[in-house]
Structure 1
Amino acid sequence: MNIFLLGATPSISAEPGEDPTSKLTKTGGNTGNQMIAHGLLSQIDYQNIAWDYRIDPKEVRERFDMIVIAAANFLFPKFDFGGMADYIERADLPVAIVGLGAQSNNYDPNIELMPGTERFVKVIAERAASIGVRGPYTLDVLARRGVHNVTVTGCPSYYMSGAKGPVIANRPMEGFKRISINASRDVIGHSFDKDKMRRIVLEIYKAGIAWNADFIAQSELAEIRIADREPGTGVEESLNAICTFLKDVVPDDDARAWASSHVKVFFDVDEWLKTIEEYDFVFGSRFHGCMVALQRGVPAVVVCHDTRTEDMCRFLAIPYVTIMDLERVDVNALHAIVDRDALTRRYRELYPAYVEFLKSNRLKPKS
């Protein structure tokens, strides 16, 4: 099986000293996207793979057997996937797509999509045996458009541990040495409640600073510039931006000292997976920032702020709390949410079904 990959990619090629903005662009604007593709490819067998979009679609049709799409929150009113729809039509190959998600600040399935994305939905529905979606909400969004060849799978990053699944450590908080947090100041506008989301994000940062935690950035450009530590990339301006954001909750000197030494970013998935093992607990509003921890047995809790995160966490039994039910960030209370047994039970239910889903889409699961 020769696969041409669209959507998220498992890795990027970066030059020494390359500007962090350029590297972030190569990930699709979020380092967590690489977790999606990494998880998908980790569970399927293939002979050859490519994801160079400069290859002419006609050549793709000649060289590859099918198009596989590692999808994310594509069904969002501001996204236009008309270009991908064109590419797929011109290549004219069977399609397998996993992880397609609808993103909204409520669960009304009548979300408005751009014409190009509407056409993308039609194109993949015609070519895929079944569209793998992130949660029941996305299934409803597609059903309203007359698309019913759909299977709820969650995100493919959930399955990267294979048949055995993740084994979450039982770590009492008294022995905690290192905590990692994640949050985003750039998604406040499309959360369930903008004012509450801003307050909770501030609380996450505040708790992280109090616990001397590391912050692992994914799309937050100011934090990424600080973490990348390349000269001439706007580090001082980025520190000022973080201090300004935190000015009402953390003294300027404390915020600056913490950000200078505790903000990290990973443009390599394997390095991220290896480093996360050093932590005792992870929490924050980034689904993949928490998923990478769970995959390495580290307890983690997602602070859900919109449908794309909450819908997946509910379906997959990922430990989570919604911003609508959270008044303040208490690290001890968050840790108490982690239910290792529930996660294990759900994984044992879902993994065999995921294997059958891959087979139904002509993908060969790894043994």
Structure 2
Amino acid sequence: MKNPYISSLYPEVPGPPFPKTQEYLQCAGNNLGNFMFCSSVRRIVRTTTHPRGDFRRLDLKTIAAECDGIVIAAANWLQPKQNYGGLADQIEKANVPAAITGIGAQSSGGKIPELLPGMLRLLKVVSERSHSISVRGPFSAEVLNHYGIQNVTVTGCPSLLWHRDHPAEITRLPRDGRVGRVTLNGTLHRFDIPKTPGKVVKLTRFTLLQAMAWGCDYVVQNERPFLQAHLGELAEDDQDSWDFLHYVFDEPDRAILKTYLERHIQAFPNIPEWMAYCANHDLVLGSRLHGVIVGLLSGTPGVLITHDNRTEEMGRFAGIPTITAEDFMSRPKIDPDAILAEADFDAFNARQKDYFRDFVAWFDANEIPHRLTVTP
């Protein structure tokens, strides 16, 4: 490839003035964390073509006129109900080399997820048009191998390559190991009160209780009622949203809840602003993979709370310090000093050097022009 077409979200919310919550989330594919890997891929890949449209709808005219390849920035697509057959059709019509970077599997209990025919077709089409498919970890490679895709390279997620001229590195630790400012994040997919809360809901409720008790910020990625509160859009008569917020924060007093939401809910329209925010903290702690990665890229210590195969796989492969959800919730309260002391950031820094070089090798093998610079 000499001038590839990048298939990804455009990694920012336009503004100011910023749009309302619905449009805000639409820009991010309903998860602001998507900006992390999309931003990284767009910074890494050398191209003069910068599409802004729907990443599932390739601009075939532009590809025919300007591009000689396609690079797809992927996420945890290897899961049930994900169907990318339309993207596969478009890649075939474009008739140029194509590569996927950072695709990952999501499942519970280590089971191979059942993939829809459209997703399997996308994998087959790209496999035939690339040296190898880049996956987030060994389990993701196992999933592809199960479905007959053998040309796979375990690279991790390209998010950690954001700096381009050097690997991610933790450059500062709190003096005397004492943590001051902590910022938290969590994982919520539904915004109604469940009859029986599952593991992830219990984990995030526990995190939110600690956030309120400490007066710590909580960074949202897809939590609609939280984002509405952050943007000043949460109406007093939106009873369903308020009922949900009272439930997850376990706080019956609306005045207390409103004060916390107004002061401590954070959301960021692009990665540079998010990184600048993290750089002013001593610890980023949460179950959001990309939320923790933003902190690590800023040089701030970050610890990922693992709760499924996806977070376990990426944490282990990339050397990101982790704590299991079970261990995290078994403690009567969160002790950031203890969590920091248990994390091995020297191992993370060392791992990132090989991680960076191996990703460079993948880009080179697929003949994708890039801006990554390997330093001695």
For residue 4 of structure 2, give the secondary structure of its aligned residue in structure 1: strand
Residue number among 290, 297, 300 corresponding to 1:298 in the alignment:
300
- 8 Å CA contact 1:129–1:361 kept in 2: the answer is yes
For residue 293 of structure 1, give the secondary structure of its aligned residue in structure 2: helix
Q: CA deviation at 1:100?
A: 0.2
Q: Does 65-74 or 234-243 show the bigger shift?
A: 234-243
- 8 Å CA contact 2:76–2:103 kept in 1: the answer is yes
- 8 Å CA contact 2:177–2:341 kept in 1: the answer is no
Give runs of aligned pairs for residues 160-199 of structure 1, distance below 5 A.
160-168=162-170, 169-172=172-175, 176-186=179-189, 195-199=198-202
Q: 1:309 to 1:84 in 2, by over 3 A?
A: same
Hey, what's the Cα distance between the residues in 2 that align with 1:234 and 1:315? 46
Hey, what's the Cα distance between the residues in 2 that align with 1:188 and 1:197? 13
For residue 108 of structure 1, give the secondary structure of its aligned residue in structure 2: coil
Which consecutive unaligned segments of at least 5 residues does structure 2 have? none
Hey, what's the Cα distance between the residues in 2 that align with 1:260 and 1:91? 48
Q: Does 275-284 or 11-20 show the bigger shift?
A: 11-20
For residue 50 of structure 2, give the secondary structure of its aligned residue in structure 1: strand
- 8 Å CA contact 1:228–1:264 kept in 2: the answer is no
Hey, what's the Cα distance between the residues in 1 that align with 2:15 and 2:240? 24
Hey, what's the Cα distance between the residues in 1 that align with 2:11 and 2:236? 25
> Corresponding residue for 2:80?
77
1:24 matched to 2:25? The reply is yes
Hey, what's the Cα distance between the residues in 2 that align with 1:262 and 1:280? 16
Residue number among 341, 344, 362 corresponding to 1:339 in the alignment:
344
- 8 Å CA contact 2:32–2:269 kept in 1: the answer is yes
Residues 179-227 of structure 1, C-alpha deviations (whole Å, 9 max, x = no match): 11000221799xxx96333322111111111221111100111111111
Hey, what's the Cα distance between the residues in 2 that align with 1:206 and 1:13? 32
- 8 Å CA contact 1:39–1:160 kept in 2: the answer is yes
- 8 Å CA contact 1:225–1:233 kept in 2: the answer is no
Q: Does 305-314 or 4-13 show the bigger shift?
A: 4-13
1:330 matched to 2:324? The reply is no
Residues 327-355 of structure 1, C-alpha deviations (whole Å, 9 max, x = no match): 23523332223211100111112211111
For residue 134 of structure 2, give the secondary structure of its aligned residue in structure 1: strand
State TM-score, norm by structure 1.
0.90
- 8 Å CA contact 1:182–1:289 kept in 2: the answer is yes
For residue 2 of structure 1, give the secondary structure of its aligned residue in structure 2: coil
Residue number among 352, 363, 366 corresponding to 2:368 in the alignment:
363
Residues 60-79 of structure 1, C-alpha deviations (whole Å, 9 max, x = no match): 23321211111001111021
Q: 1:232 to 1:173 in 2, by over 3 A?
A: farther
Q: 1:179 to 1:22 in 2, by over 3 A?
A: same
Hey, what's the Cα distance between the residues in 2 that align with 1:222 and 1:127? 42
> Corresponding residue for 1:9?
10
Q: 1:172 to 1:279 in 2, by over 3 A?
A: same
Hey, what's the Cα distance between the residues in 1 that align with 2:345 and 2:7? 34
> Corresponding residue for 1:63?
66
> Corresponding residue for 2:357?
352
| Identical counterparts, % of pairs | 31
- 8 Å CA contact 2:187–2:200 kept in 1: the answer is no
Give runs of aligned pairs for residues 162-311 of structure 1, distance below 5 A.
162-168=164-170, 169-172=172-175, 176-186=179-189, 195-230=198-233, 238-247=241-250, 253-311=255-313
- 8 Å CA contact 2:6–2:71 kept in 1: the answer is yes
State TM-score, norm by structure 2.
0.88
Residues 151-199 of structure 1, C-alpha deviations (whole Å, 9 max, x = no match): 111110111133532332111477544211000221799xxx9633332
- One-letter amino acid matched to 1:48: T
Give runs of aligned pairs for residues 25-64 of structure 1, distance below 5 A.
25-53=26-54, 56-64=59-67
Q: CA deviation at 1:289?
A: 0.7
Q: CA deviation at 1:147?
A: 0.7
- One-letter amino acid matched to 2:357: P
Q: 1:187 to 1:93 in 2, by over 3 A?
A: farther
Aligned residue pairs, count? 362
Residue number among 153, 156, 167 corresponding to 1:154 in the alignment:
156
Q: CA deviation at 1:239?
A: 4.5
Q: 1:55 to 1:85 in 2, by over 3 A?
A: closer
Q: 1:235 to 1:316 in 2, by over 3 A?
A: farther
1:88 matched to 2:91? The reply is yes
- One-letter amino acid matched to 1:179: V
Q: CA RMSD in A?
A: 2.6
Q: 1:130 to 1:197 in 2, by over 3 A?
A: same
Q: Does 154-163 or 315-324 show the bigger shift?
A: 154-163
Q: 1:139 to 1:174 in 2, by over 3 A?
A: closer
Residues 38-69 of structure 1, C-alpha deviations (whole Å, 9 max, x = no match): 12233332233324246642442332121111
Q: CA deviation at 1:251?
A: 5.9
Hey, what's the Cα distance between the residues in 2 that align with 1:181 and 1:339? 19
Q: Does 233-242 or 27-36 show the bigger shift?
A: 233-242
Hey, what's the Cα distance between the residues in 2 that align with 1:55 and 1:164? 31
Which consecutive unaligned segments of at least 5 residues does structure 1 have? none
